[in-house]
Structure 1
Amino acid sequence: MKKNFASRFRNWDAYAKTLDDFTIKTSAGALLTLLSGFIIFCLVVSQFNEYLQVTFKSELSVDKSRGDSLPINLDITFPHITCDLLSIDSVQETGEHRIDLESSIFKTKLDENGNEMKSELTELGNTSSKIDEELKKAQPNTDENYCGNCYGGEPKEGTKCCNTCAEVKEAYERKGWLFEDYSNIEQCVKEGVADKVMKLEGEGCRVHGSLKVQKVPGLLSLTIGDSFFFGNLMLHTLYTGKHNVYSHKINKLSFGQEIAGQDNTLHGYEVEFEKGHRKVQYFLNVVATDVRYLNGTTKLNWAKLHKLLFTHNKKSRLA
């Protein structure tokens, strides 16, 4: 009974096997077998690697955290600008103006060869106006009958005189004018301020640290001189001379949290100028990016990066 059932079951075999006595093994058949096996092996390995491959999925979303602050990390070297005359200002689209920022921004003096002159750090906030310090130290004219010229500026209320270099500078600021040339101001020449400004030339400066700004369009300027308000306008006093060489090297410029291995096209970017009055403008587009790690090998399972897209131009500035 069992034999008859097995015999009837084998009748369903559509691939009947030929007896070994009637088979012929050839070299072509062996080559075809090996080739088929190799192709099958490659396909299996390829599919397995594709299975292990991480798929990057991009998704565009609206940033709802406009009220949060954004850290800016910078390290810029100015080989021909002294730290005593360098200031940093911020103007944002919201109307917020910050002059001579007091943040974790520091300046390190450099000699002509680019070596650090001092081991200590100088905080950028409230230290950029070295000229103002020199003005305060200067001795005013002791002649009681002396009435100095304000050179078109607006003197203090109740007086028509500007007896010191500092008073002339303040008169210019009240008028909304820029106070640039100390060598043509009688009070500044007598007090020796013009000579002291010239002695500051020949040094370099490295600006480094971080500051926080709002997530809105704005302007961040690193310039020679100091700024002041005239009504709703922010004006800047630019000091002329051979130190107005804005050659610089961006050692580092990043936004937000710094991640190891993050690519930044501005790192190491260098701009060289011949001596003259020029400026460089960088137009930066910062794109917030959330990155989530799948391997679990990092301390953080997610990180917020800020990709940086930029373009820039160079312009001559009238002295």
Structure 2
Amino acid sequence: MRRLNRKKAFKVVKELDAFPKVPDSYQVKSNSGATVSLLTFALIAVLVISEFNYYLGVTYKYDYDVDRNIESDLVFNIDVVVAMKCVYLGADLLDLSGTTHTSSEEQGFKSEETFFEMTAAQREWLRNRKELLARHEEWRSLKDEQIDNYRLIHTAMPQRSSVDVPSNRQPDACRIFGKMFIKKIAGNFHITAGKAIAHPRGHAHMSAMVPRQEYNFSHRIDHLSFGNAAVGTLNPLDGEMKVAVDRNQMYQYFLQIVPTSFSFAGGQAYAANQYSVTRRERIIDHSGGSHGVPGIFMKYDMSALTVSITQDHQPFGSFVVRICGIIGGIFATTGMLHGFIGFLFDVIFCRKKGVAGSMSPRPARASQSYVETESSSLTTDMRIGGGNSVGLSTTEH
């Protein structure tokens, strides 16, 4: 009784088999099927390897939120070289609250005499920086590539060593560098002719004390950033170089600062401030309607949004699901395509064969004495008696 119940249970389970086996005698193998199979296996191998490499890598998640940390200060880092002597230049920073920071060592900005001509190492750095910025423009939409490739990039230009200082020349440029804590509000950092002086209605520069022939606002921005340095960021003004074509040249840079935080899988976290820039330059000509003050002006403003970038790995379960989807999807798709192409081939081939057969001539008759029998009947009467006689009669119509 138990064996009978067990056989019934096995039979029920067998009926639930969703993968019935087809006997080998019913399977037909063809050259086209073998070709499709090889192509399918090759495609699966390529996609599985690509998916495995993606699983070993990392992914980045981008979140946007309103910046609520508006009370904290912001570090402003600057390193710029202007083709004028320091005695003729004045650099200061003025924000919307009326706070003014001048280029004095107590305030954070320093200035020193230098040469505008670059050394071989500085020219190499500038060339690499421009190449990197051009690549950044191509990778603008590939944010993950940006973080991975900018991880170990140094943004500071190599300084001039004592060996590179010309002995027979006097310095012809001024280097203004340093950092300063500023408020997270809009402001304006500018470099123009004449030292800055206090004024009841704002501030002013003693540009009247500078001879006009000394004006030359050709400049090179070695570094300009906001906040601490962090991986994955590239400052768009690093390596910026402009050569003035007129003594009354005015350069304007409009900067939009976006607070950004990075969180990596290893537990490391960084906070930085990325910025975008819009450039504008023109020649000051009051008689022509172009008013202003010659110099270098950098106007910045804070964005109301913050960007949070989180590094993460793909879960193993998601990796398995994607692999199963690749294998099953390719098998199903190639099977359907192979069947559909075979069906079209059979239809076209059979149609052509039928047309060719209908156009072939009919064979001629063998002789004119061909007789077609419409009907015939055969009557056989077999009688078996004592004499074993057999009678046969045939009637044709």
Q: Do both share a fold (TM > 0.5)?
A: yes
- The answer to whether the Cα contact below 8 Å between 1:109 and 1:118 also exists between their aligned partners in 2 is no
Equivalent in the alignment of 2:314 = none
Q: Does 1:221 align with 2:190?
A: yes
Deviation at 1:305, TM superposition (A): 1.9
Q: 5 Å matches for 1:121-140?
A: none
Equivalent in the alignment of 2:278 = 311
Between 1:34-43 and 1:233-242, the stretch displaced more is 34-43
Between 1:223-232 and 1:104-113, the stretch displaced more is 104-113
Q: Secondary structure of the equivalent of 2:68?
A: coil
- The answer to whether the Cα contact below 8 Å between 1:75 and 1:251 also exists between their aligned partners in 2 is yes
Distance 1:255 1:110 in 2: 25
What amino acid is aligned across from residue 20 of structure 2 in structure 1? Answer: Y
TM-score of the two chains, using structure 2 as the length reference: 0.50
Equivalent in the alignment of 1:71 = 75
Which one of the candidate residues 73, 94, 97 is aligned to 2:97?
Answer: 94
Q: Does 1:105 align with 2:76?
A: no
- The answer to whether the Cα contact below 8 Å between 1:99 and 1:228 also exists between their aligned partners in 2 is no
Distance 1:275 1:32 in 2: 70
Between 1:104-113 and 1:254-263, the stretch displaced more is 104-113
- The answer to whether the Cα contact below 8 Å between 1:242 and 1:275 also exists between their aligned partners in 2 is no
State how many pairs are aligned: 232
TM-score of the two chains, using structure 1 as the length reference: 0.61
- Percent of matched pairs sharing the same residue: 24
Q: Which has the higher helix share?
A: 2
CA separation of 1:260 and 1:48: change in aligned 2, threshold 3 A: closer
Which one of the candidate residues 254, 258, 262 is aligned to 2:225?
Answer: 254
CA separation of 1:10 and 1:27: change in aligned 2, threshold 3 A: farther
Q: Does 1:281 align with 2:283?
A: no
- The answer to whether the Cα contact below 8 Å between 2:113 and 2:171 also exists between their aligned partners in 1 is no
- The answer to whether the Cα contact below 8 Å between 2:103 and 2:111 also exists between their aligned partners in 1 is no
Equivalent in the alignment of 2:64 = 60
Which one of the candidate residues 30, 35, 42 is aligned to 1:31?
Answer: 35
Encode CA deviations 1:99-120: one digit per residue, 9 max, x unaligned: 344334332312475679997x
What amino acid is aligned across from residue 92 of structure 1 in structure 2? Answer: D
**Unpaired stretches in structure 2, ≥5 consecutive residues:** 120-158, 163-169, 287-293, 295-397
Which one of the candidate residues 80, 85, 88 is aligned to 1:85?
Answer: 88
What amino acid is aligned across from residue 76 of structure 2 in structure 1? Answer: I
Which one of the candidate residues 269, 272, 275 is aligned to 2:243?
Answer: 272
Which one of the candidate residues 20, 44, 53 is aligned to 1:15?
Answer: 20
CA separation of 1:240 and 1:278: change in aligned 2, threshold 3 A: farther
Encode CA deviations 1:241-265: one digit per residue, 9 max, x unaligned: 2221111011111111112453222
Distance 2:110 2:76 in 1: 13
